[in-house]
Amino acid sequence: MSEFKGSVLVAGAAGRTGKWVVKSLQAHNISFRLFVRSAEKAVRLFGPEIIDRLTIGSVEQPAEIRAAVQNTQALISAIGGNVTDPSAPPPSAIDRDGIIRLATLAKEEGVKQFILISSLSVTKPDHPLNKYGKVLSMKLEAENEVRRLYSEPGFSYTILRPGGLLDGAPLQHNLLFDTGDKLTTGVIQRSDVAEVAVLSLFTPEAHNLTFELIEQDEVSLASLAPFFSQIHS
Ligand SMILES: NC(=O)c1ccc[n+]([C@@H]2O[C@H](COP(=O)([O-])OP(=O)(O)OC[C@H]3O[C@@H](n4cnc5c(N)ncnc54)[C@H](OP(=O)(O)O)[C@@H]3O)[C@@H](O)[C@H]2O)c1
């Protein structure tokens, strides 16, 4: 039996973290749909049987967002603009305005729960990564709006702020969760970030919470759920 009742939309599902979110939802037997820019890329990643679960579109297009969020109870966003490609839209258009548009329209269309993958150090304007179109500050503005919209009664948000992302297997490291953007450095596997995002759907301690997450020592784990208790201890 699934631990979450309802359907989850994964925005940015064909990205390097998004594809792990999809795997994690499948492992937890949770119903899902995908919001992706390219059907071809999604089929290449997930196989032809994914086609019925896709809505194709961009967070720049309100009508495409509205189509994607129909009959959705929760949304996990693994979207991020490509800050190193000068031809890509800037962080102000994707990481700020795109996420704010996604969160606003999702709420209007009945989505109750919003889980956003953001970044460590978003509250530090002088961080070197802000050289790239103020990407961290843009993410903070999006976070602020997600918190404002989804902290109303009947709604909930979870904002994950991972350290530098790596591409290894899940459940192979202890994790450190913290709040207040105090961690200055650290890395974490995209697969673990994805699993924590999915656990956040049905873990009450994760609701209406913003937290940082990085990995620690190597170890083989059965679940990442116990790490949520670090924040409230
Ligand atoms: N890289 C790091 O070390 C690091 C550290 C901390 C936090 N983060 C953040 O963590 C998140 C996930 O990172 P990642 O490395 O997994 O990202 P990624 O592989 O670059 O994937 C980003 C996803 O966003 C999608 N996207 C971009 N523009 C879009 C638009 N206009 N409309 C809809 N979707 C759009 C992309 O679509 P396509 O599949 O079509 O390209 C892609 O699926 C991002 O927000 C990133 O900024 C990254």
The pLDDT of residue 233 is above 70: no
Task: List, in sequence order, the alpha helices (H) in 5-50.
Answer: 18-27, 39-46
Here the contacts of 98-102 (C-beta below 8 Å, separation 24 or greater) are 98/58, 98/59, 98/60, 99/59, 99/139, 99/142, 99/145, 99/146, 100/141, 100/142, 100/145, 100/146, 101/59, 101/60, 101/62, 101/65, 102/11, 102/59, 102/65, 102/75, 102/77
In the sheet where 113-117 sits, what is the strand order? 54-56, 31-36, 7-11, 74-77, 113-117, 156-162, 209-218, 173-178
In this structure, the residues whose C-beta lies within 6 A of any atom of ligand 1 are 12, 14-18, 37-38, 41, 58-60, 78-81, 94, 98, 117, 119, 162, 164-165, 190
* Residue 71 DSSP one-character state: T
Q: Residues in the chain, how many?
A: 233
The pLDDT of residue 55 is above 90: yes
Tell me whether residue 155 is in a domain.
Answer: yes
pTM beyond cutoff 0.85: yes
Q: At residue 194, what is the residue type?
A: A
**Mean pLDDT value across residues 34-46:** 98
Tell me whether residue 84 is in a domain.
Answer: yes
DSSP element (H, E) containing 170: none
Report CA(146)–ligand 1 centroid distance (Å): 17
Tell me whether residue 1 is in a domain.
Answer: no
Phi then psi dihedrals of residue 213, to 5 deg: -145, 130
The pLDDT of residue 175 is above 60: yes
Question: Looking at the 3D structure of the chain, how many domains does it have?
Answer: 1
pLDDT tens, residue by residue, 63-82 = 999 999 999 999 999 999 99
Tell me whether residue 2 is in a domain.
Answer: no
Report CA(117)–ligand 1 centroid distance (Å): 9
Tell me whether residue 225 is in a domain.
Answer: yes
With the most atoms of ligand 1 within 8 angstroms of its CB, the residue from 34, 37, 160 to mutate is 37
Residue 2 confidence class, pLDDT cut points 50, 70, 90 = confident
What percentage of the chain exceeds 90 in pLDDT?
96
Q: Please report, for the domain that includes residue 70, its CATH number.
A: 3.40.50.720
**Mean pLDDT value across residues 139-144:** 98
| 56 close to 36: Cβ distance less than 8 angstroms | yes
**Mean pLDDT value across residues 109-116:** 98
- Both tokens of 165, joined, read 């992302």
Residue span of the structural domain in which 95 resides: 7-232
Tell me whether residue 163 is in a domain.
Answer: yes
Tell me whether residue 156 is in a domain.
Answer: yes
Residue 231 confidence class, pLDDT cut points 50, 70, 90 = confident
Tell me whether residue 19 is in a domain.
Answer: yes
The pLDDT of residue 170 is above 90: yes
Mode of pairing for the β-strands spanning 113-117 and 74-77: parallel
Report CA(1)–ligand 1 centroid distance (Å): 31
